[in-house]
Amino acid sequence: MSSKRPVELGREARLFLLFLSEINLVMGALFFVYPSLVISLWPWPVKALAIRFIGAIFLAIAFGCWSALRAKIWQRAKILVLVGGTFFGITSIVSIILSASQGGGYVISAWTGYFLVASLGNLYLLNRYGWPRKPQDRLGGGEPWRTARWFFRIQTVVVGIFGIMMLLLPDVAQHQFWPWSVPTPTLQMFAGLFLATCLATGWASLQTDIGRIRVLLPLDVIFPSLALLAVGIHWDVISSQSPSALVTGVWVFIYAFVAVGSAYLYFGSRKITVM
């Protein structure tokens, strides 16, 4: 490879991302479409709405892996690897703590093993390729995309604040601003996604290369869109368990804002030439 060319994803990185995408695609589809069939396979008690949310997360990760593969260049794909490493890392810690408190078991051990392997695989790629840009990795440039910058800044603040509270103060989050009743491990798993997204959108808000911004958008569209669909399917649960109509309205607005905003940026970015 020429030293003047940007570093591209190697064979082992492509295989890992492809493998991870296919696993999450299958699991996500099953969890979202047939929650009653897989609910007994989850390592802690959950209901159908939570299973569909977890399915939405898995499907978003699958699309994120495909987006990274399409990007080809490491400096554009690396943020999605960080997202995967962060989400699976936090979820594996939650599973380990739960396993230790409940005495383990085959189901929770299997899920914990999967979360650990997925997290370590992503962290290996981050270590293998490195985070800093090399001279040949200076892509794009020019004026920042102001619409994207402000959109990502707003999203970073919102998901960062909620994510920290959901992870560290789950009881407060459950009773004050989460729109339906879920077990603490589930809320902390969702926090893992929020915090991973916070890192990604914070990073994206600093970028001037459209390719680095675009790679994040499919994941940012898929999860909130499917989450809204799940909420619509289980509206009876939301209406009966939400702390207030205001809480419900705020969450619906946040998910709609992210889904519509990300879709707008994605299709808008396609009109801009990427170097």
∠ at Cα 266 (260, 271), nearest 5°? 130
- Residue 209 scores a pLDDT above 70: yes
The Cα–Cα gap between 91 and 206 comes to 27
DSSP 216: T
Average confidence (pLDDT) over 35-51: 94
CA-closest candidate to residue 126, choices 80, 160, 170 = 80
CA distances from 50 to 83, 130, 137, 183, 260 (A): 21, 35, 41, 10, 23
The Cα–Cα gap between 23 and 17 comes to 10
Q: Token pair 């296919």 is at which residue?
A: 22
The phi, psi pair for 44, rounded to 5°, reads -140, 160
68-114 per-position pLDDT tens digit: 999 999 999 999 999 999 999 999 999 999 988 887 788 999 999 99
Q: What is the pLDDT of residue 16?
A: 97
Angle between helices 106-129 and 74-102 (to 10 degrees): 150
Q: What is the pLDDT of residue 272?
A: 64
125-166 per-position pLDDT tens digit: 999 999 887 755 565 556 678 899 999 999 999 999 999 999
Average confidence (pLDDT) over 45-66: 97
Q: What is the pLDDT of residue 7?
A: 86
- Residue 211 scores a pLDDT above 90: no
The Cα–Cα gap between 31 and 58 comes to 9
The Cα–Cα gap between 220 and 64 comes to 9
Residue percentage of the chain with pLDDT more than 90? 81
* Sign of the Cα pseudo-torsion (221, 223, 229, 232, in order): negative
**Sequence letter at residue 120:** L
218-270 per-position pLDDT tens digit: 999 999 999 999 999 999 999 999 999 999 999 999 999 999 999 999 998 77
The Cα–Cα gap between 218 and 259 comes to 10
